[in-house]
Structure 1
Amino acid sequence: MNYFILSQDERISNAVEPVGLSKIIKKELLTVERMEELEELERQFPVLDKSENDYIDFIEKPIALLADPVKQLVEKYESRLPFKPVVLVDMPKLKQTLYWLSIPPKVACLSAQTEFHLDGTLKKLVIDETLAAPYTFFQIEGIKENYIIVNIELAESMLRRAFRGIRLRKVQTEGKWNETLNS
Structure 2
Amino acid sequence: MRYFLLKADKGYTYTPRIVNLHTQIDVRDLKKGSYYKIPKRFLLRIQSNPDTVYTDIITHPLFLISDKIKRVLEKYEPNLNYKEVILLDQEFGRAEKYHLPTLEELECLTPASVFNTDKSILHKIVIDINKSGDKCMFALGEVTNRYVIVRLDFVESMLRRGAKGFTLQEVETVKGGD
Provide TM-score, normalisation by structure 2. Answer: 0.90
Structure 1: 5+ residue stretches without partners: none
SS in 2 for 1:71: helix
Deviates more, 1:122-131 or 1:20-29: 20-29
Question: What does 1:3-152 align with in structure 2 at a 5 Å threshold?
Answer: 3-39=3-39, 43-120=42-119, 121-152=121-152
What is the rounded CA distance, in whole Å, between the counterparts of 1:48 and 1:125 in structure 2? 33
Provide TM-score, normalisation by structure 1. Answer: 0.88
Structure 2: 5+ residue stretches without partners: none
What is the rounded CA distance, in whole Å, between the counterparts of 2:67 and 2:52 in structure 1? 17
Q: CA deviation at 1:9?
A: 0.5
RMSD of equivalent CA atoms: 1.9
Higher alpha-carbon Rg: 1
Alignment deviations for residues 85-118 of structure 1 (CA, whole Å, 9 cap, x no partner): 0111122222211011112001111112112233
**Paired position in structure 1 for 2:154:** 154
For 1:63, the aligned partner's letter is L
SS in 1 for 2:36: helix
Q: CA deviation at 1:2?
A: 0.9
- Percent of counterpart pairs with the same letter? 28
**Paired position in structure 2 for 1:163:** 163
For 2:163, the aligned partner's letter is F
CA contact 1:140–1:147 (8 Å) conserved in 2: yes
Alignment deviations for residues 22-52 of structure 1 (CA, whole Å, 9 cap, x no partner): 4432331112322221127x71111101232
What is the rounded CA distance, in whole Å, between the counterparts of 2:32 and 2:71 in structure 1? 19
CA contact 1:86–1:101 (8 Å) conserved in 2: yes
Deviates more, 1:118-127 or 1:161-170: 118-127
Deviates more, 1:86-95 or 1:111-120: 111-120
What is the rounded CA distance, in whole Å, between the counterparts of 1:114 and 1:26 in structure 2? 30
Alignment deviations for residues 118-174 of structure 1 (CA, whole Å, 9 cap, x no partner): 343323110011111321111111112311111111111112221121212111111
CA contact 1:22–1:63 (8 Å) conserved in 2: no
For 1:92, the aligned partner's letter is E
For 1:75, the aligned partner's letter is E
What is the rounded CA distance, in whole Å, between the counterparts of 1:8 and 1:122 in structure 2? 16
